[in-house]
Structure 1
């Protein structure tokens, strides 16, 4: 276990992180029981991702123990404030932001955290929302010339996303979020996800830790302002790129075969040609977005999970200041 400072950003003092090896982190599980089966893992595991019961026990169980302590402390602090004010407010959920690149395993990590956290008796209602639903519809992106920048910060309806998180955080009932369909590569028409006063909200997305994009945004509110805890999934870009290519090839054999799939034409072309296109997509879009917008937010996170080439977490960094 080591402590290190990261370079300051925006004139702020350096952030201090404690770095744990996987073994050191696993020991912090203490006596927390693992209440998962192989079937549970199969339900949350993404395409071409390695996730075992050992991973759940050594990496994610200590994390849920930490989060449970954080939730309890936050609830106690709110009760103290309510007592002081003499007017209890509506219960506010504990909001967790989870960020990282395309193909790094965010969705799998988010689903696993949701499953594990919901089994703690203190907070059984855990909602998971992805920011994909807050992308502008393709028609809007095409009109604004942003289809080749889908996933970049400007391709999201940030005002709507901010209002959604604010409403959930304020304890409002039946808050609606749009739903994204990866099959049609667009917002699913007429579909919505209703979030009704959860104990915990996990918000997963590429840019959830993003702050200001232009100088005139100084002083504005950002989605990350409403987070009680944030997590960044990290890995070497070369590894993430290879995971993206592997997933692309796997999708050619599965989801892309669906006649409704936006990408069905990739399933019909020779594999070498499809792979060359996938490499171009990474270089022009996903890799560029990672370098310019996603990776710079890593040091904003409360916790960083660092993965090795086999998708397994090798080290953990926990912010101390």
Structure 2
């Protein structure tokens, strides 16, 4: 329940699910809905902003595991949520660009007290990966989340939505000064399609089955999607 008490602890809504499941769109929709009915400051943040930079991933030799739990700076993500809960002012976090496919150097997102935080990301309901250092009270990220939503869909649809999204971005890549898909400029359409299929099968699908999907039943609310992102089933845990 979202309280109206001005001195209440900020409420955190967590949204998780596979790559291309529609987490960001859902987060934006919830924000619009809540703003219409509540006089609250609402902030949307993606855990992508807490990914290690591509340079750091390369140094750790886990570039091929971008999006996996080990590719995130969980320590800083936990600190950020704790600051939000304490209503700290002028919180500064890194900024991730989906065009650059990397953390933007010397760019930050600033948050100055918020009543409701909508946090969306792949691994927010993980258990082991979010534990703090030794000799400290062990907490996991979901301990700080008040209400969690898992967006579920059959893998065949997720794969299609992922490809459609990147193919659309690829078509418009030259409109942007920097776009990571420009590295595929010399590929034919068929070669590009095959490359995206390879990325899905070796990274996104593996991350989904190994790390993300096992956390589904930990969510307060599960939204099941079918073709064209239509929700055909809702499961709510009281």
With structure 2 as the length reference, what TM-score do the two structures score?
0.93
Work out the CA distance in 1 between the residues paired with 2:104 and 2:46: 13
Work out the CA distance in 2 between the residues paired with 1:202 and 1:190: 24
The answer to whether the 8 Å contact 2:222/2:236 transfers is yes
The answer to whether the 8 Å contact 2:78/2:130 transfers is no
Instruction: For residues 207-262 of structure 1, give each alpha carbon's deviation from its aligned partner in whole angstroms, at most 9, with x where no partner exists.
Output: 01111149998972111110110011000011101111112211110136635212
The counterpart of 1:152, out of the listed 54, 65, 68, is 68
Aligned to 1:265: 183
The counterpart of 1:128, out of the listed 7, 24, 44, is 44
1:97 aligns with 2:97: no
Give SS of 2:37's match.
coil
Aligned to 2:198: 280
Aligned to 1:162: 78
Aligned residue runs from structure 1 range 136-285, under 5 A: 136-213=52-129, 220-255=138-173, 258-285=176-203
1:106 aligns with 2:23: yes
Instruction: For residues 81-137 of structure 1, give each alpha carbon's deviation from its aligned partner in whole angstroms, at most 9, with x where no partner exists.
Output: xxxxxxxxx54210111101101111111111111111123x431001100010011
Work out the CA distance in 2 between the residues paired with 1:202 and 1:258: 28
Aligned residue runs from structure 1 range 305-316, under 5 A: 305-316=223-234
Distance 1:165 1:101, change over 3 A: same
Q: Which has the larger radius of gyration?
A: 1
Work out the CA distance in 2 between the residues paired with 1:118 and 1:216: 34
Work out the CA distance in 2 between the residues paired with 1:169 and 1:288: 33
Work out the CA distance in 1 between the residues paired with 2:31 and 2:227: 25
With structure 1 as the length reference, what TM-score do the two structures score?
0.69
- Count of matched residue positions in the alignment of Structure 1 and Structure 2: 236
Give SS of 1:71's match.
coil
The counterpart of 2:36, out of the listed 112, 119, 131, is 119
The answer to whether the 8 Å contact 2:149/2:219 transfers is yes
RMSD: 2.1
The answer to whether the 8 Å contact 2:14/2:145 transfers is yes
Task: Name structure 2 gaps, 5 residues minimum.
Answer: none
Distance 1:262 1:115, change over 3 A: same
1:298 aligns with 2:229: no
The answer to whether the 8 Å contact 1:253/1:267 transfers is no
Aligned to 1:71: 2
- Which deviates further from its counterpart, 229-238 or 191-200? 191-200
RCO greater where, 1 or 2, for CA within 8 Å and sep 6 or more? 2
The answer to whether the 8 Å contact 2:225/2:233 transfers is yes
Give SS of 2:180's match.
coil
The answer to whether the 8 Å contact 1:91/1:171 transfers is no
Work out the CA distance in 1 between the residues paired with 2:130 and 2:83: 25
